[in-house]
Structure 1
Amino acid sequence: MPSFDEPSLKATFNVTMGHHKRFQSYSNMHIHAVQPNREIQDYVWSVHEVTPLIPTHLLALSVNNFNCRYSQAASTNPVRFRTCAQLADMRETSFAAQMAPQILEFLDSLLQVELPLEKIDQLVVDDFPAAATENFGLVVYSSTQLLLRENGPMTKEKVEALELISYEMAHVWFGNLLGMDLNSDIWLTEGLAGYFKSLAMDHLQSGMGRRILLRYRESSIMYESQVGGISLVPPLSVAPSNEEKQLYQKATSLIYMLIGFLGNETFYDGIRRHMWQNSFGSSTPELFWRSLQLASEREAALAKNWDVKSIMDTWTMQDGYPLVTVIRNGSEVFLTQRHALNRSSSQLWWIPLTYLIEGGSVSKNLEPRAWLSADSHSIKLNAIVPPNQWILLNLRAVGYYRVNYDEHTWQLLATTLFDDFRSINVLNRAQIVSDVLFLWNQELLTWSTAFNVLKYIINEDEYEPLVAFVVGVTNGFCGISTESSFSIAKWLGIAAKWYAEFISYTFDKFVVQDPSQNLNSLDYPD
């Protein structure tokens, strides 16, 4: 067997396993023959079909006496599912057996890249060391994550299981069908899997997709704030284990931003062509950016002097993220950028700028209206903003950066939030809350300004701003003063309908957090 564990080194595998006839053999491919073992009584040889070209880490082998539940995905090429577990657990495999084919069907219709798969086995294993691991044609899950009854309402446990299944089904395309040349570039396929997982979740449970993307963004930004920034292109071939999940969350957030400025049509054109050309081969981030660049030129999504690789290199090869500051002079607006976590850093980014002027209408697409260049610290917006109206940057919080406004704009935003917070998009409310807490912690905002903006939170009733508030407080203010802590606790206490069930688990996750856990484990409220 090849012993080089690099994604670019691939081979076909002809798997034959010997076992007692009471057991069954599982691997990446179907069994095409079962032959008697002429040397050992009651033993047989299970001969599996030859795999396509895959790296060693996607090879999977199992011999067990599980029972199986059968289902099928009505994808372009129908894929048969077997969900297998110990006999005593079979009733609780129905949820996974039903949902996995639905997720595969959705992703298949979205990506339109034919899968060379006839079957996917889902094995549910006790005492498995990870939540799940994906292999070509065979996925192994921990029984603690997947055993649930199908009937009954959608519970927190079912949402968590659905998210896990969605992630593993997304890996069928990103990780199995499309691989990277090097382990150090796996952040790209993991980031893509995270994004398409959010789409699958939103398809099955409306609103869950944006929650996942917000959670990834907030978790990644908070982690970077703690460690001073992380880069997706680390100097080592493999990132330290404690950073791995944070890298993947950041990668998903950056892909979401990339789709925002390219547009869905351009993105899907580029990714489909890239997968058609590189299935079962090896890719690199550079080749992927090139595919998107060609798609953008076909669709005229970017100006000719902008280059996808140049833009994304500033986000993947530099640590941290930028802070964009709004400066107003009468009706003119100037924007500046700097490293949000290192004031002495000279790093600059290509930053796509979307904005809304109070009273204006929000466009459905997120096409940038301007760019902050990696060659310049500042820009003057080609917009007239009346002094009595606010300007709001980073629509729907798609961009991976923080925003600080001048004092006057903060007060205008605070007034609108307090009088009619629903007039500002829920994701922008979440970003405002998160940014204000960060800026206050960094002593870039006064307490009075922060209080005026955040006091509306007692009326907030949507998940995203509330979770941004709790995460910002618990993660960013370990040394917060007693007086301020009581003020915040009072705000939370007033929101009694939300406080009891939501605050308790959020504090468990983000304050009393086991170092072995990670910020990706934030649960949803029931």
Structure 2
Amino acid sequence: MGKVYYVSKNVGLGMLVLATVALATIIALSIAYDKERAKNRSKPENGATDSTSMPTPLTTPSTPKEPWDHYRLPDSLVPVSYNVTLWPRLKPNADGMYIFTGSSAVIFSCVKETDLIIIHSNKLNLSNFYGHHAKLSGLGDATAPTIQKTWLVVKTHYLVLQLRSALAVGASYVLYTEFQGELADDLEGFYRSEYTEDGVKKVVATSQMQATYARKSFPCFDEPAMKAVFTVTIIHDRGTVALSNGREIGTADSVIDGMPLRVTTFEPTERMSTYLLAFIVSDFVNIQSTQNNNLLIRIWARRKAIEDRQGDYALNVTGPILQFYEHYYNATYPLSKSDQIALPDFNAGAMENWGLVTYRETALLYDPIMSSTGNKERITTVIAHELAHMWFGNLVTLQWWNDLWLNEGFASYVEYLGADYAEPTWNIKDQIILSDVHKVFAVDALASSHPLSRRQEEVNTPAQISEMFNTISYSKGAAVLRMLSQFLTEPVFAKGLSSYLNRFAFGNTVYPDLWDHLQQAVQNTPGMHIPHTVHNIMNRWTLQMGFPVVTIDTRTGSITQKHFLLDPDSVVDRPSQFNYTWFVPIKWMKTGVEQQQYWLLQKTDAHIEMRVSGEDWVLANTNVSGYFRVNYDLDNWDRLLSLLNTNHQALSIINRAQIIDDAFNLARAKIINTTLALRTTKYLSMERDYIPWESALRNLDYYILMFDRTEVYGALQSYLKKQIQPLFEYFKMITANWTKVPTGHTDQYNQVNAIGIACSMGVDGCRELIKSWYRQWMESPHHNPIHPNLKSTVYCSAIAFGGVEEWDFAWRMFKNATLASEAVRLRSAMACTKAPWLLNRYLEYTLDPTKIRKQDATSTMQSIARNTVGMPLAWNFIRARWSYIFQQYGRGSFSFSNLVNGITKRFSTEFELQELKKFKEDNLHVGFGSATLALEQAIEKTTANIKWVTENKARVLKWFTEEST
């Protein structure tokens, strides 16, 4: 067990008294809070605001000098428990403002002598107690020092209490505060979500605390290592239900100022981090089940969604996934209930609040008639991801955000295991190659990438913390942990995890703690051998950025590794203690026969077994178990391509996808010829499986982005039409002329590819088919003839081929959609129109929350930029309004970096590069927040695109022209 603080009898009595006082005080002061709102809102936006006893300057120095100027808390105080009462108002006050009021009593221990109390508080108006923002009391024999002065530091989000004397080391104290906050629609902290049901506007009070927003809800020590026990009370309107992390243990009706209210109390939580707290008040309803161990499982959503049985699928898979993790971790689910709730407005996809997981509606709600196979898979994998966190992340938590990858990378890996258990016929574990490994290769091959684990001093501000929620943390984390599991074997990996989780339960760790326990599992497994310790192997994958390309010369058996960079001319200015050399586990086969795993432990080595001749061939990184790319001598490349063209099924589906992806990226890095990469696609006319086709289409998408505004595009289109036509005909046949659904899970995805590419490349009959389906729907809006799997493709193509009538119909259907995933499909499809005026109108809609929800604004802009016609329109729109967009969506949004990536994906000219640099220069005063790194990478990628197009345009045009005839 981790270090746990036990509450003494005196502390317990103190908490009980404080809870009673808190409840009475918050009710009495609520009216006064409302009256003071206008005065409080006029306080400065930057610097420090003072109490009446401290007329200090309103700014803090730019160079941190005082403890409150630092973004990290001092290590002198440790929280033990909180008693928090909140009262959200679901109706606006006289000034049209939604507010919440509350009180908090935090018990903390003093572990180092100090005369300062520094605690996080952001955008809260604190009540005034005798000229101060808080009351301090001692517990047990401790006497609380007198508060000399208090003030708020806006820059670092602190409430500071200067005491007349020092706190006693080893003593415990209670800090009591009362506060008012805005229940804003900013999707951060304690916020409001709005929706319309049966023509009535409804308001939900909900929360998102990760990473630094708990401090917007109540004053707290808002760092992941500052774990404590939380006792929560929520005051809310009758007719609504209150939810929090713990199970509700009591409700009582009350009348305050003539308002009939209800007070709900919750059981104390386990010892946990502030970022995992959740508070929700709504009129939602639930469906529920009970596990064998009396664990209560509930799915919450809008009443209409539950009545339409949209929560049934989530409820059905939650129990099995929890059971799988209990077995996998060898640790019982640590809480008394598991709530999951679908919210109309939510910035992330989902959030793993302990015992109360919050989701976008698209990530939890499934309609058996209207939802697609892709919707079902997303719900399964997101639930599996969030529930994986209940142990890894919640029970055992990272010490600081620089090691976020340990949380998110792990959940991103084992989500495939949990989902596979729930839906074993999907073969979903293979899809990690597309969804994570190949995805992150594209980012980690940039000179501006960063290691999985950053130094603590590199991650301080809220924006820097938000920036850690990126593809590297999630997808590279998943890829390297999967590699670790593969070379240790899954049973040894799971054994080490179980030991780690049980040792550090309710505590905090750093990544070497996991390596320790995995190493112990290795040592305790007879016959298990790895060439170095887990520490030494994994440090090379986590402490330096990037990954290697392993080159195998089958003529000599020589093997080399080199840091793979997409742009070989880019300069890596980040030093590496390992000189960009990795310990590489290589699983491989020779002419179809699996060989013993080989470890490449230096830059150059030789392995005589890899020397082949004649018809023999070598394939390394079987099933893409390792996080690296593979290159071969030209003879072996020719043998592999010949195999693809004559007997492609001799290679696994994953390795067919790998050959394509490796070749295209090696060509972009000038390691092999571009035409060699293009040759990997020649066999596709015979390919029927989804994963290789998807790999090819994603790589050819780069060619489309680079050339769809040039003369190359016509030849590319002719070639791809020739390759996709047999797949289109194949699915037309097995679906009985599009009247049936393919039985295989991934076959359903490949049918979507077949239709989408066939239509965009001009295959005969495809556009007419899509137009007829969409027209049937327009003529009978209540009877949509389009299968849910095909809707995204059909909607987009029909709107692209149509005009204002098709667009306006989609808009009406979007506004009336009762299923979130259907709304997403329509929202994305409306960006496909080729009419500039419609796209400009749509861009304006993105900044109007009554038309496009705030959570969807930036992704809608990205969809418009994806359109060839829309890209320059979206770029001009964002440049002209950057300050507003940044203020509204950019300060803490995890997805904000995707906006910069999405808008600039097609940039490939010197003119666009100069515009990008000027955009950066013109907006330095505004800032880029969590998109700062994304902007640097956009400049880097645009520079590389320019060079690649210049060097390859002529030969690509020649190749496509020759091969399309």
Normalised TM-score (structure 1): 0.88
Distance 2:375 2:901 in 1: 18
Query: For 2:498 and 2:288, how far apart are their aligned partners in 1?
Result: 30
Question: Any conservation in 2 of the 1:433–1:468 contact (CA below 8 Å)?
Answer: yes
Instruction: Go from structure 1 to structure 2 and tell me whether the alpha carbon gap of 1:239 and 1:473 turns closer, same or farther (over 3 Å shift).
Output: farther
- State the one-letter code of the partner of 1:355: W
Other-structure match for 1:523: none
Q: Matched residues in 2 for 1:304 and 1:409: separation?
A: 29
Once residues 182 and 448 of structure 1 are traced to their aligned partners in structure 2, the CA distance between those partners, rounded to angstroms, is 47
Per-residue CA deviations over 1:21-47 (Å, capped at 9, x if unaligned) read 332221111122223447566333222
The structure 1 residue matched to 2:564, chosen from 324, 327, 340, is: 340
Q: Percent identity?
A: 27
Instruction: For residues 319-365 of structure 1, give each alpha carbon's deviation from its aligned partner in whole angstroms, at most 9, with x where no partner exists.
Output: 11101011133xx41100001107576411111111111142x37xx
Q: What is the CA–CA distance in structure 2 between the aligned matches of 1:118 and 1:289, rounded to whole Å?
A: 31
1:88–1:452 CA distance, 2 compared to 1 (3 A): closer
AA at the equivalent of 2:509: S
Give yes or no for the alignment of 1:218 onto 2:438: yes
Match of 2:952 in 1: none
1:173 to 391, 409, 424: 391
Matched, 1:115 2:333: yes
Structure 2 CA distance for partners of 1:349 and 1:249, relative to 1, 3 Å? same
What is the CA deviation profile of residues 80-100 of structure 1, one whole-angstrom value per residue up to 9, with x for unaligned ones?
112122322212222222222
Distance in 2, Cα, partners of 1:81 & 1:304: 42
For residues 370 and 252 of structure 2, the distance between their equivalents in structure 1, rounded to whole angstroms, comes to 44
For the pair 1:209 / 2:429, whether they are aligned, the reply is yes
Q: What TM-score do the two structures reach when normalised by structure 2? A: 0.50
| 1:114 Cα deviation after fit | 1.1
Q: Deviations over 1:214-248 (max 9, x none)?
A: 32111101223356533212352245538613421
- Asked whether 1:358 is paired with 2:591, we answer yes
The CA deviation string for residues 244-269 of structure 1, in whole angstroms up to 9 with x for no partner, is 13421110011111111111121011
Cα distance in 2 between the residues matched to 1:61 and 1:310: 43
1:118-172 deviations in whole A, cap 9, x for unaligned? Answer: 1111222222333222211101222344332347886222222222222222221
Q: 1:161 to 1:502 in 2, by over 3 A?
A: farther
The aligned runs of 1:482-497 (5 Å cut-off) are 482=713, 483=715, 486-496=718-728, 497=731
Match of 1:234, SS? Answer: coil
Structure 1 counterpart of 2:655, from 411, 418, 428: 428
C-alpha contact 2:554 2:612 (8 A) present in aligned 1 = no
Within 5 Å, which residues of 2 pair with 1:229-308?
229-235=449-455, 236-237=458-459, 238=464, 241=467, 244-299=470-525, 303=529, 306-308=532-534
Larger CA deviation: 443-452 vs 499-508: 499-508
CA 1:470–1:230 in 2, change beyond 3 Å: closer, same or farther? farther
CA distance in 2: counterparts of 1:322 and 1:140, whole angstroms = 38
Q: Which residue of 2 aligns with 1:474?
A: 701
Aligned match of 1:501: 755
Deviates more, 1:177-186 or 1:83-92: 83-92
Give the Cα separation in 1 of the matches to 2:291 and 2:369.
20
Task: In structure 1, give the amino acid aligned to 2:429.
Answer: G
Aligned to 1:299, the other structure's residue is in SS state: coil
Displacement after TM superposition at 1:78 (Å): 3.8
3-state DSSP of counterpart to 1:128: coil
| Structure-2 separation of matches of 1:428 and 1:147 | 34
Matches within 5 A, 1:49-88: 49-74=267-292, 77-88=293-304
> Can you list the C-alpha shifts for 1:448-487, whole angstroms capped at 9, x where unaligned?
5334443212211111111111112223674355555653
Counterpart residue type for residue 34 of structure 1: T
Query: Cα 1:140–1:469, aligned 2, differ >3 Å: closer, same or farther?
Result: same
Q: Deviations over 1:249-297 (max 9, x none)?
A: 1100111111111111210110011011111111111100111111111
Return the match for 1:411 from 638, 650, 653.
Answer: 638
Is 2:248 aligned against 1:31? Answer: yes
Matches within 5 A, 1:124-139: 124-139=342-357
Higher mean displacement: 336-345 or 217-226: 336-345
How many angstroms apart in 2 are the aligned matches of 1:359 and 1:161? 37
> What is the letter of the counterpart of residue 126 of structure 1?
P
Q: Larger deviation: 97-106 or 407-416?
A: 97-106
Q: Which residue of 2 aligns with 1:15?
A: 232
Amino acid at match of 1:352: P
Look up the match of 1:3: 220
Cα distance in 2, alignment partners of residues 223 and 265 from structure 1: 31
Q: Which residue of 2 aligns with 1:395?
A: 622
Q: Please, what is the CA RMSD of the aligned residues?
A: 2.8
Inter-CA distance 475–294: structure 2 relative to 1 (3 Å threshold): farther
The answer to whether the Cα contact below 8 Å between 1:390 and 1:413 also exists between their aligned partners in 2 is yes
Aligned residues of 1:322 and 1:349 also touching (Cα < 8 A): yes
The match for 1:524 is: none
Could you tell me how far 1:213 is from its partner in structure 2?
Answer: 4.1
Is this contact kept in 2: 1:21–1:44, CA < 8 A?
yes
Distance (whole Å) between structure 2 residues aligned to residue 427 and residue 335 of structure 1: 23
User: Does the CA-based 8 Å contact 1:437-1:476 persist in structure 2?
Assistant: no
Match of 2:606 in 1: 380
1:173 aligned counterpart, secondary structure = coil
Aligned residue type for 1:338: K
Counterpart of 1:311 (choices 515, 520, 537) is 537
Q: 1:384 to 1:14 in 2, by over 3 A?
A: closer
- 295-304 vs 64-73, which moves further: 295-304
Structure 2 SS opposite 1:19: strand
Q: Is the contact between residue 295 and residue 336 of structure 2 (CA under 8 Å) also seen in structure 1?
A: yes
Match of 1:369 among 587, 591, 597: 597
The amino acid across from 1:340 in the alignment is F
Runs of 4+ in 1 over 4 A off after TM superposition: 38-41, 150-154, 342-346, 480-486, 504-515
Change in Cα spacing, 1:213 to 1:6, as seen in structure 2 (3 Å) is farther
Instruction: Flag the 1:136–1:242 CA change in 2: closer, same or farther, 3 A.
Output: closer
| Alignment-derived partner of residue 321 in structure 2 | 103
Larger mean CA deviation between 13-22 and 193-202 belongs to: 13-22
User: Which residue of 141, 163, 167 corresponds with 2:381?
Assistant: 163
In structure 2, how many angstroms separate the alpha carbons of the residues matched to 1:324 and 1:242?
Answer: 28
Segments of structure 2 that go 5 or more residues without pairing to the other structure are 1-103, 105-218, 573-578, 732-750, 761-791, 797-831, 833-862, 875-897, 903-965
| Counterpart contact for 2:653–2:692, Cα < 8 Å | yes
Corresponding letter in the other structure for 1:500: A
Candidates 663, 671, 675, aligned match of 1:444: 671
Which deviates the most, 436-445 or 9-18?
436-445
Distance verdict in 2 for CA 1:488–1:231, change over 3 Å: farther
Is residue 35–residue 45 contact of structure 1 (8 Å, CA) maintained in 2? yes
- The SS at the match of 1:387 is coil
* Count of residues paired in the alignment: 508
Distance in structure 2 (CA, Å) of the matches to 1:413 and 1:380: 21
Distance of 1:232 and 1:352 partners within structure 2: 19
Does the 8 A contact of 1:266 with 1:301 survive in 2? no
